[in-house]
């Protein structure tokens, strides 16, 4: 068990991973809450780009969020996340997004944007995946336009795409340049090839070795997504109100 939060090496600032954020029993508990809590849970799911979502804390729109009460099980979960990450999340968590991915499904590269405080924690449940980070085009262009600036020049060469392997039951936190200047996404694929771009390939290789001897034709480990993955994204929505008319 590795229950410490570590900086993920060889990435721009800043990515952290806590490999064993919860036990298998806690994972089952959370999945059970996601699927079975509330009397009309089916109504809570919405579908976007082929994956299902649940919003907790409120529905985020362009002006912010109307607060709704967090269920008790999620208040406890939020406390556990806050304890795990300490001051790395600078603002209190007031919103949780649950994403459900069938095998083969993913999420297009995107940025979370200015509605949220610029640090995010993501818990992965039930299935492993690789999150891909790509420098934002406008961020690179902006950096290139100031070639005389040494600090910026060095940051340009520091901008490269990479992947982070997310084992099930792990917690990922990213912030700073990774939040403002990068897109993040998950490939639409039933398998993740652990190639040289995956900065924590060792974690994945360990896992593959323990489970099977899966390799692709170039002998790179392959992590198969055989089960539905559920992720929980913990964020702070900056602008919140208790009633619609206040916006």
Ligand X SMILES: O=C(O)CCC(=O)C(=O)O
11 contacts ligand X (rule: CB under 6 A)? no
Residue 119 C-beta: closest distance to ligand X, Å: 13
Q: Which is nearer to ligand X, 11 or 99 (CB)?
A: 99
107 contacts ligand X (rule: CB under 6 A)? yes
130 contacts ligand X (rule: CB under 6 A)? no
Among 19, 184, 207, 225, binds ligand X (CB under 6 A): 184
Residue 245 C-beta: closest distance to ligand X, Å: 29
Residue 93 C-beta: closest distance to ligand X, Å: 13
231 contacts ligand X (rule: CB under 6 A)? yes
- Sequence-distant (6+) residues with CB within 8 A of 233 are 96, 97, 98, 99, 120, 121, 122
98 contacts ligand X (rule: CB under 6 A)? no
Alpha carbons 195 and 20: distance in angstroms, whole number: 23
Rg (CA), the chain: 19
Among 122, 126, 223, 237, binds ligand X (CB under 6 A): 122
Alpha carbons 223 and 195: distance in angstroms, whole number: 11
Is 94:237 a contact under the CB 8 Å cutoff?
yes
99 contacts ligand X (rule: CB under 6 A)? yes
Structure tokens at 116: 């949220």
List the helix and strand counts (H, then E) for the chain. Answer: 6, 17
By CB under 6 A, the count of residues binding ligand X is: 9
145 burial (CB, 10 Å; 0-12 / 13-18 / 19+) is: exposed
119 contacts ligand X (rule: CB under 6 A)? no
* DSSP letter (8 states) at residue 127: S
93 contacts ligand X (rule: CB under 6 A)? no
Residue 2 C-beta: closest distance to ligand X, Å: 19
Residue 53 C-beta: closest distance to ligand X, Å: 8
Structure tokens at 45: 């799911």
Q: Which is nearer to ligand X, 143 or 172 (CB)?
A: 172
Q: Which residue has the tokens 């795990």?
A: 84
Q: Which is nearer to ligand X, 60 or 143 (CB)?
A: 60
Q: Which is nearer to ligand X, 89 or 143 (CB)?
A: 89
- Sequence-distant (6+) residues with CB within 8 A of 224 are 190, 191, 214
236 contacts ligand X (rule: CB under 6 A)? no
Q: Using CB under 6 A as the criterion, which residues of the chain lie in contact with ligand X when the complex forms?
A: 97, 99, 107, 112, 122, 131, 184, 231, 233
């Amino acid at each position: 068990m590795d229950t410490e939060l570590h900086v993920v090496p060889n990435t721009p600032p800043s990515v952290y991973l806590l490999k064993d954020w919860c036990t298998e029993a806690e994972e089952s508990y959370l999945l059970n809450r996601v699927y079975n809590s509330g009397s009309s849970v089916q109504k809570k799911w919405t579908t976007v780009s082929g994956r299902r979502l649940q919003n907790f804390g409120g529905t985020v729109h362009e002006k912010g969020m109307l607060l709704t009460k967090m269920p008790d099980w999620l208040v406890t979960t939020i406390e556990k996340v806050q304890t795990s990450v300490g001051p790395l999340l600078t603002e209190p968590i007031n919103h949780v997004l649950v994403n459900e991915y069938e095998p083969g499904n993913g999420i297009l590269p995107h940025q979370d944007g200015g509605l949220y405080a610029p640090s995010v924690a993501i818990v992965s449940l039930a299935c492993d995946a690789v999150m891909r980070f790509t420098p934002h085009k406008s961020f690179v262009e902006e950096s290139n336009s100031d070639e005389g600036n040494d600090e910026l020049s060095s940051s340009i060469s520091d901008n490269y795409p990479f992947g982070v392997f997310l084992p099930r039951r792990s917690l990922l936190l990213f912030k700073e340049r990774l939040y403002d200047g990068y897109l993040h996404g998950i490939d639409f694929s039933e398998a993740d090839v652990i190639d040289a771009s995956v900065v924590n390939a060792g974690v994945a290789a360990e896992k593959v070795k323990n489970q099977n001897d899966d390799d692709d034709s170039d002998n790179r480990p392959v992590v198969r997504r055989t089960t539905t993955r559920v992720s929980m994204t913990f964020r702070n929505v900056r602008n919140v109100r208790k009633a619609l008319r206040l916006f």
